[in-house]
Amino acid sequence: MIAHSEALLGNIENAREMLPRLTEKWMVPSIESLISAKEKNKENFSRYSAEAIEHARGVQKYMLYYSLKDMKELQM
């Protein structure tokens, strides 16, 4: 997912431009949580992380839960 890479690289505007093209319900809040982490916005990070995890299913839910949890512990 290119938006994911752009967000992690700090290219916030490029990542946000890609949001309307994302098709799964968990994708937009997932990218927004990455952007919030880069911006050190704990409140938005928590909100978007919870929303992404809520909408995801199966392996994606598992991956989001643990990767966002680790991100919160390491960066925030």
Domain ranges across the chain: 2-75
Residue-wise pLDDT tens digits, 12-42: 999 999 999 999 999 999 999 999 999 999 9
Task: For the chain, give the secondary structure using H, E and C.
Answer: CHHHHHHHCCCHHHHHHHHHHCCCCCHHHHHHHHHHHHCCCHHHHHHHHHHHHHHCCHHHHHHHHHHHHHHHHHHC
Q: Is residue 64 pLDDT above 70, yes or no?
A: yes
Identify the pLDDT of residue 34.
Answer: 96
Supply the pTM of this predicted model.
0.91
Please report, for residues 6, 14, 54, the alpha-carbon distance to residue 17 in angstroms, rounded to integers and kept in the order given: 10, 5, 23
Give the span between the Cα atoms of 31 and 72, in whole angstroms.
Answer: 14
